[in-house]
Amino acid sequence: AADGTGKEELLGSTPDLLNIWPLSWSGDGKMLVVMKWSALSSGTTNFDIGALPMEGDRKYRPLLQEKYSEYQPQISPNGRWMAYSSYESGKGEVYVRPFPEVDSGGRWQVSTSGGDSPLWSPDGRELFYRNGEAVMAVSVKTDPTFSLETPGTLFRGTYAFITNYLHPWDISPDGRRFLMMKESGQSGVESAGPRRINIVLNWTEELKQRVPAK
């Protein structure tokens, strides 16, 4: 429970997988969309997208599993579409597919010159993503089918990534603010700085002045 009451509940387990990260809920809350990390026989790693149903046997279900990495899945507010990042073109780009049947009705490339970390606006009318230091915005329609307009730069800034594959930001429920991280030492971010050693001479005389002896 969000208020901290009650006990923890096991949502599902995948003993055959090395690592999974929960990243997005379906619109009805019946499916948790996750990112899976796997080690390949070539010694490299790959990221795929799957889902854990919250009903029935809660068995892991693969959604996108290709020779290239797909990652950062985000389900649209109406639960009908999945935005995600992929290296299928040889570099990171943002795409949209139907959800939960991802192969049932087309695939749209949202970014035009690189992108990652897709994020839906709460009303589902915009899709945001990051391209380097630029935050991009795209007007979209999600009903009755998916369509999009040309991306435009919303703002620029240097913000931190925990890793390029996890989701590094979020948006407020009213859609008016983004929650992002800055590197320590940037403008407006407190930095610890170098440590200093201060030496105080004749401290007993100062102590007598501050705390007169009775």
DSSP state string for 86-142? E-TTSS-EEEEEESSSTTSS--EE--SS--EEEEE-TTSSEEEEEETTEEEEEEEE-
pLDDT tens across 107-126, in order?
Answer: 999 999 999 999 999 999 99
Q: Is the pLDDT of residue 150 over 80?
A: yes
What pLDDT does residue 163 have?
59
Q: Which residue from 60, 69, 130, 120 is spatially nearest to 96, judged by alpha carbons?
A: 120
Measured from the Cβ of residue 175, the count of other Cβ atoms closer than 10 Å reads 14
Q: Is the pLDDT of residue 185 over 90?
A: no
Beta strands 70-75 and 81-86: pairing type?
antiparallel
pTM above 0.85, yes or no: no
Q: Which amino acid type is present at position 209?
A: Q
Query: What is the rounded distance in angstroms from the CA atom of residue 53 to the CA atom of residue 57?
Result: 8
| pLDDT higher at 44 or 2 | 2
Query: What is the rounded distance in angstroms from the CA atom of residue 135 to the CA atom of residue 117?
Result: 10
Q: How far, in Å, are 83, 97, 209 from residue 86 at the CA level?
A: 10, 12, 69
Query: What is the rounded distance in angstroms from the CA atom of residue 124 to the CA atom of residue 127?
Result: 7
| Mean pLDDT comparison of 14-28, 39-53, 110-124, highest-scoring range | 110-124
Q: Which residue from 141, 139, 135, 138 is spatially nearest to 170, judged by alpha carbons?
A: 135
The arithmetic mean of pLDDT across residues 68-94, rounded, is 94
What pLDDT does residue 71 have?
93
Mean pLDDT value across the chain: 85
Percent of the chain with pLDDT over 90: 49
What pLDDT does residue 82 have?
97
